[in-house]
Chains A and B, each alone.
Chain A
Amino acid sequence: MPASVTNFATHFFVLGDPLIYGADASIVLVTLAILFVLTYFKKWGWLWREWLTTVDHKKIGIMYLIAALLMFFRGGVDAILMRTQLVWPGMHFLQSEHYNEIFTTHGTIMILFMAMPFIFAMFNIAVPLQIGARDVAFPYLNAISFWMFFFGAMLLNLSFVIGGSPDAGWVSYPPLAGPEYSIGPGENFYLLALQISGIGSMGTGINFFVTILKMRAPGMTLMRMPLFCWSVLAASILIILAFPALTAALALLLFDRLAGSHFFTMLAGGNPMMYINLFWVWGHPEVYIVVLPAFGIFSEVVATFSRKRTFGYASMVASLMTIVVLSYLVWAHHFFTMGAGPGVNSFFALASMIIGIPTGVKVFNWLFTMYRGRIRMTAPMLWTVGFIPNFVIGGATGVMLASAPTDYQYHNSYFLIAHFHQVLIGGVVYGMLAGMYYWWPKMFGHMLNERWARHAFWWFNIGFYVCFMPQYLVGLMGMTRRIYDYPGDMGWNTLNLVSTIGAYMMGIGFILLVLDVVYSIFYGERDKTGDPWDGRTLEWSLPSPAPHYNFARIPIVTARDAWWIMKEARRGDLTDVSTTEGVESVRVTQSKQTAPQSLKQSGPLQPIHMPKDSGRPFVLSVCFFIFGWGLVFQWYWMAIPGFLGILASLLARSFEKETSYHIPVEEIEKTEAAYGRL
């Protein structure tokens, strides 16, 4: 074999590590299995028509959910590998380089390719149904968003076996991530994967911002919206204003790496601090982007399963919006120790602490929503109640970290690691899982098994504390993050061992969760009513899963908790009104008069205007993938056709006239009749 070919192969494929050979083999096997199944069952057409070309928000939501769970698995395996290496000092399970790649991909995947698609799954599944809309404002853009995310994620994941993963940490600070210290394609994978999926995130932010502001059903004023929609609105504002900073940072670093520019090198007048500032101007709002929707889900779940109105709705909205504003004013707390003066550090310390106030208020409001309610400890509620102590501790350590002089001691130590895992797992992951259990029947028409769910929750929740409480302690003992090995005489050994045990317990919890999904697909209780939880918001007024067009007639909303009010009116049940204030009883009485009208939804059905499916978002994203891949390896023969493909896809859309169609009344009648709703 010619030397050039062997040389190419050794750079292209990652060689010499049995774990990676294992990954190679499993990727090939899984791919073959998928191809075989699709071909054997003649599902290629189905896949293309029903999924790859869909612009239906419900299907896009499901695809986001599947992708998020897969990425959760990948990121979780990374975590288990790291904890295995750290179980005891002097382990030879992973080499340094391999460990560095794994913590980099763990962070990147968990934030950008697990948390982000998970919240987008919830956006897509719930928002249009909650506000009484038939789809999002820009369904075609929604499909683009998903496929851009998907191919960005693919690009990053392939780096593990092809070319080598990035290994400069998920923050990718220059100069370590610059051309001098990160040779090879790894960092390029990171930069391009984030850039491509970032376009998708931006699209989603714009889409849901407009959807919530423009597509609400008649009568649904902003202050009658479900709190989840408020949280999505807040997160969308954050996405729109924060992601451009990341885009700029990634693009400039890519120029430094590929084109020899000097934006972030100290030489030739650049400055790495500019990257660090840009990154965190995005990075801190980013954590609120992922956690605010979780707050929204908790608000929905707590009210539903306490059979009670959300306590302090206005306060909840105010705190969401306060967080939006404040989250832009705290970014420098990620680098108190990079030489900022005491004035700057004081400002960012105070701003970071102040953001704890609205967050704390939300916790009290959830508690008092449960207070004097009737709490049903279903799976979504279990994750919600589990979240509260978790987030209170995580928030408290957050305030501790915000205090600049103490941060000099916590920074980059395991104390910090424990803190942000507690808020990101305890907040975001618990929230998304609560949302998944909550809306699962709405997505798939069947419930998830409660017994399995409880086992999964307790393994995961107890495992969480076993894993991360020791990390606070070991941080106070001086253990720094991102080390693949540590000295054995520092007293860190036992705590690391305990932490690893906890990580495995969380792994078991995740496996049980997956088994719950598999079990319930076959044996889960079918949801015939469309309202299995006795819900309060409009998505529960629809059959499960909702028909393609969502609402045969757009509902008329007369109050907050619109579906609950409609049900109350239907029951003629006003016994509780006596306990409320005067304003409330007026509201309920009014709704009693108007609700039956909207319930019966009288008047003839109208044809429904719907967007056409399109394969172009998929094609466009494939072109982006090819373009990105070409740039990663600096193969311009590949990047240029990819770029031309992008342009062609965009142009083709501009010349497209027929992008929508009408569903005829007969078809709507047929569908509604099949649900028994006519």
Chain B
Amino acid sequence: MNKPFWTKWRHLMFVLLVPLVTSGCGERYLVLNPAGPVARIEQRLIILTIVMVLIVVIPVIILTAVIVARYRDRPDRTAPYMPEWSESKVLEVVWWGIPIVIIGIIGTFTVRDTFRLVKPQLPEAPLTIQVTSLNWKWLFQYPDQNIATVNYCKIPTNRPVEFVLTSDAPMNSFWVPQLGGQEYTMPGMAMRLWLQADKPGVYFGHGANFTGKGYAKMAFDVVATDAQGFDQWTKQVKASAPPLTKQGYKNLTTKQDIVGKQEFSSFPPGMFEADIRINGGMYMKHQLKEATD
């Protein structure tokens, strides 16, 4: 410990940088590589907050190193020593003030974006997809197209998609990082999440809230294609896939297992709403109304 303190910290900084360097490619950072307007609003706010907090973090870390190096107790130390100095109105105002200003700025943008993300501007009619988290799979129902899929869904690009979320199992959370932040799926309730993809691609999605044994395998894909491709795909599913029967749905829910991707050419009408009702939605009239609107 006779070396100056900062040499230790230099090693530390090196250690900090290792993971950054080794992890390489930037497009792996899904959250920072948005593919739609919702994720983009969130990504911009993330970058803003990072910059704002660094205004405090970096000086404080430097200050810590400098103060420790300068005021270490050594026989030949000539730095001033003022053991009774313990008050300074000016300094106190400065460091109550700086965080207040920074929090003020972050807070303003936070509130703005919180309200902005509630509903998107709608140049086009949204596509509605009803999502049910099950043990341990994802069921997607397209009420307008009357098709259903398991563990993946297709969406058209440049069109807002309204995901209506519920769960017929313990609560999970529906997260597609490149399209936008997550929202919980809860039994007996219908939650809404608006997402949109600007460009075609296969977007990684995963359940984000623990639901037991098979939870780790609850990944799904959100595949974005242009509107034409989407229509073709729905037609193809309608033509080739088997229908989802009530018994088929029961099999999906009661067999607690992990399955691959599946498609269905139809599903029993009103199944999603009925599911919410019997899982407790009947006690929450406003929820039920919202789900069936």
A contacts, CB < 8 Å to B: 96-97, 100, 167-169, 173, 175-176, 181, 265-267, 269-273, 306-313, 315, 335, 337-339, 341-342, 345-346, 349-350, 353-354, 356-357, 360-361, 363-365, 367-377, 385, 388-389, 392-393, 396-397, 399-400, 402-413, 454, 458, 461-462, 465-466, 469-470, 473, 475-478, 480-487, 490-491, 494-495, 498, 576-577, 579-581, 584, 588
Q: A373-B71, A579-B85 are in contact. List 11 more A-B contacts (CB 8 A).
A: A306-B71, A309-B85, A337-B184, A373-B81, A388-B60, A409-B43, A461-B12, A473-B20, A473-B23, A477-B28, A576-B82
A354 and B15 contact, Cβ closer than 8 Å, known pairs A374-B81, A400-B50, A576-B84: no
Asked if A389 contacts B64 (CB within 8 A), the reply is yes
A374 and B173 contact, Cβ closer than 8 Å, known pairs A345-B114, A400-B49, A411-B208: no
Separation of A650 and B30 alpha carbons in the complex (Å): 58
What range describes how many residues of B lie at the interface? 35 or more
The verdict on B280 contacting chain A, using a C-beta distance below 8 Å, is yes
Interface residues of B in 173-209 (CB under 8 A from A): 173, 175, 177, 180-184, 186-189, 191, 204, 206-209
A396 and B184 contact, Cβ closer than 8 Å, known pairs A346-B110, A360-B99: no
Asked if A97 contacts B213 (CB within 8 A), the reply is yes
The residue on B at minimum CB distance from A377 is B1
Could you tell me the distance in whole angstroms from the C-beta of B207 to the nearest C-beta in chain A? 7
The residue on A at minimum CB distance from B280 is A266
The listed residue (A175, A271, A408, A411) touching B170 by CB distance below 8 A is A175
A372 and B45 contact, Cβ closer than 8 Å, known pairs A337-B181, A466-B15: no
The 8 closest A-B CB pairs, nearest first, are: A408-B181, A266-B280, A266-B188, A491-B28, A396-B53, A176-B170, A483-B216, A580-B84
Asked if A337 contacts B83 (CB within 8 A), the reply is no
A462 and B82 contact, Cβ closer than 8 Å, known pairs A478-B204, A494-B22, A498-B19: no
A403 and B30 contact, Cβ closer than 8 Å, known pairs A337-B173, A346-B111: no
Chain B residues near A470 (CB-CB < 8 A): 19, 23
The residue on B at minimum CB distance from A369 is B86
Chain B residues near A310 (CB-CB < 8 A): 86
The verdict on B222 contacting chain A, using a C-beta distance below 8 Å, is no
Asked if A399 contacts B53 (CB within 8 A), the reply is yes
Asked if A372 contacts B80 (CB within 8 A), the reply is yes
The listed residue (B8, B208, B211) touching A176 by CB distance below 8 A is B211
Asked if B60 contacts A363 (CB within 8 A), the reply is yes
Chain B residues near A266 (CB-CB < 8 A): 187-189, 279-281, 283
Could you tell me the distance in whole angstroms from the C-beta of A106 to the nearest C-beta in chain B? 13
Which stretch in B88-96, B120-128, B233-241, B262-270 binds the other chain? B88-96
The listed residue (A270, A339, A484, A581) touching B186 by CB distance below 8 A is A339
A367 and B19 contact, Cβ closer than 8 Å, known pairs A309-B85, A403-B106: no
8 residue pairs from A and B, CB less than 8 Å apart = A266-B279, A370-B68, A374-B83, A405-B181, A478-B175, A480-B175, A579-B84, A579-B85
The verdict on B223 contacting chain A, using a C-beta distance below 8 Å, is no
Tell me how many residue pairs across A and B have CB atoms closer than 8 Å: 316
The residue on A at minimum CB distance from B183 is A337
B contacts, CB < 8 Å to A: 1, 5, 8, 11-12, 15-16, 18-20, 22-25, 28-32, 39, 41-43, 45-46, 49-50, 53-54, 56-57, 60-61, 63-64, 67-68, 71-73, 77, 79-88, 91-92, 95-96, 98-100, 103, 106-107, 109-111, 113-118, 169-171, 173, 175, 177, 180-184, 186-189, 191, 204, 206-217, 219, 279-281, 283
The residue on B at minimum CB distance from A350 is B107
Could you tell me the distance in whole angstroms from the C-beta of A505 to the nearest C-beta in chain B? 10
Asked if A392 contacts B60 (CB within 8 A), the reply is yes
Asked if A96 contacts B19 (CB within 8 A), the reply is no
The listed residue (B54, B91, B171, B207) touching A480 by CB distance below 8 A is B207
Separation of A577 and B82 alpha carbons in the complex (Å): 9
The listed residue (B45, B81, B116) touching A403 by CB distance below 8 A is B45
Asked if B80 contacts A405 (CB within 8 A), the reply is no
Chain A residues near B64 (CB-CB < 8 A): 367, 385, 388-389
A462 and B60 contact, Cβ closer than 8 Å, known pairs A357-B103, A399-B103, A483-B216: no
Separation of A367 and B204 alpha carbons in the complex (Å): 44
Separation of A345 and B56 alpha carbons in the complex (Å): 25
Asked if A393 contacts B87 (CB within 8 A), the reply is no
Separation of A410 and B210 alpha carbons in the complex (Å): 15
Chain A residues near B115 (CB-CB < 8 A): 342, 346
Could you tell me the distance in whole angstroms from the C-beta of B63 to the nearest C-beta in chain A? 6
The listed residue (B24, B31, B85, B98) touching A478 by CB distance below 8 A is B31
A404 and B86 contact, Cβ closer than 8 Å, known pairs A409-B46, A412-B173: no
Separation of A377 and B57 alpha carbons in the complex (Å): 23
Could you tell me the distance in whole angstroms from the C-beta of B252 to the nearest C-beta in chain A? 17
Q: Which of A167, A341, A349, A375 has the most CB of B within 10 A?
A: A375
A476 and B30 contact, Cβ closer than 8 Å, known pairs A312-B92, A363-B60, A385-B68: yes
Chain B residues near A371 (CB-CB < 8 A): 67, 71
A175 and B187 contact, Cβ closer than 8 Å, known pairs A309-B85, A404-B110: yes
Asked if B53 contacts A400 (CB within 8 A), the reply is yes
The listed residue (A173, A311, A397, A473) touching B29 by CB distance below 8 A is A473
The residue on A at minimum CB distance from B107 is A350
Chain B residues near A494 (CB-CB < 8 A): 19, 22-23
Q: Which of A169, A271, A399, A580 has the most CB of B within 10 A?
A: A399
